Amino acid sequence: MFKFAKFILFIASVLFVLSIFIVSAPFAAVLKISTAYPDGTYVVKTLKAAGKEIEEKTEGRIKLKFYPGGVQGDNKTVLKKIKRGILQGALVEGGALAGDYKDSQVYNAPMVFKSFDEVDYVRSKMDSHIIKGFDKAGWKVFGLIDSGFAYAMTNHKVKTIQELNEQKLWLPANDPLSEKVAGALGLSPIFLGIGEVLTALQTGAVNAIAAPPAATLILQWYSRLKFVINAPFMYTYGTLAISNTAFAKMKKEDQVTVNAILTATIKKVDKTAREDNIKAFAALKTQGLEIVVPEASQAEELRKSAEKATRILVEKGEFSKEILQKLNALLLEHRNVP
């Protein structure tokens, strides 16, 4: 009995020492982050540089490991992995997180913006609201990244929705908003993963896309297209999101460091991405694509179709009437400035 008591006392003392060690040991984590951006691109290189800075300033407690090129799977797969703790975050288009935060899609309303000036004014007033919404939905984001306007690009000259519907139009798979926008506009697109698009264009399975110019260049889709419809169909943006669960595990001082570095990095990437998107549109022309400008009546038809689609999106609950009213009020405010 005495020996047993000594054994219990020994075990208790060991557990006590271990508990002290565990409490006092610095928390260390590797934040595994997925992105569809190919390795070697400006965005990935800039984020990797930020990761090195974070590792240095947290004395190795926090490390960032990026998985570029979509190797972790599509958005649906990546989000499942984050929920299970296999990954901690992702650099995705804003709509990828819409399942958790519907109002994040309001910037994607079809043809709601006419220019980058309008985008900049609205974002200066609304980005903080969107970021807070992500936080409440379980995501720590560090700002939004301009992905530019998506334009319809085709192999046959089209100027109207009806003509576009006659094409084999690609839209991204697992993107509920794009699917609902297409349905509201009366389009019947082909949904494929991003990695399947170039092959589909090469084989003729697809002969039209809706995408930002920069992505079209980076992914070499431009080489299989001939026309760009000069009507900014939809504004797009991306964001670097880390699950609040993973972020909360860090020491407070490390949270401050990670937040400061990634916020500054995303701001830098956002600025450069905007510049690249403007250059990319011009580059499409130098690559031999013809810019097609719809006539006034055709542009008005497109506008009315977009407004109808937006009403349907609100009715279907893709984003709230209130967030759309807030955006439209800011647009009106900006457009009425002398």
* CA separation for the pair 48, 28 (Å, rounded): 18
Both tokens of residue 272? 């450069």
Helix 321-335 to helix 296-315 angle (10° resolution) is 150
Q: What is the pTM of this model?
A: 0.85
333: how many CB neighbours lie within 10 A of its CB? 12
3-state secondary structure of 156: coil
Name the burial class of residue 278, with classes exposed (0-12), middle (13-18) and buried (19+) by CB atoms within 10 angstroms of its CB: middle
For residue 30, which amino acid is it? Answer: V
Domains and CATH numbers, the chain: 24-335 (3.40.190.170)
Token look-up 């109808």 returns 308
Return the beta strands (E) in the chain as ranges: 29-35, 62-67, 89-93, 139-154, 169-172, 190-192, 208-211, 227-229, 234-243, 290-292
pLDDT per residue, tens digit, the chain (338 aa), is: 445 444 444 444 544 444 444 343 444 689 999 998 889 999 999 999 999 999 999 999 999 999 998 899 988 899 999 999 999 999 998 889 999 999 999 999 999 999 999 999 999 999 999 999 999 999 999 999 999 999 999 999 988 888 888 999 998 887 778 888 888 888 889 999 888 999 999 999 999 999 999 989 988 999 999 999 998 889 999 999 999 999 999 999 999 999 999 999 999 999 999 999 999 999 999 999 999 998 888 888 888 889 999 999 999 999 999 999 999 999 999 998 76
In the DSSP assignment, the letter for residue 155 is S
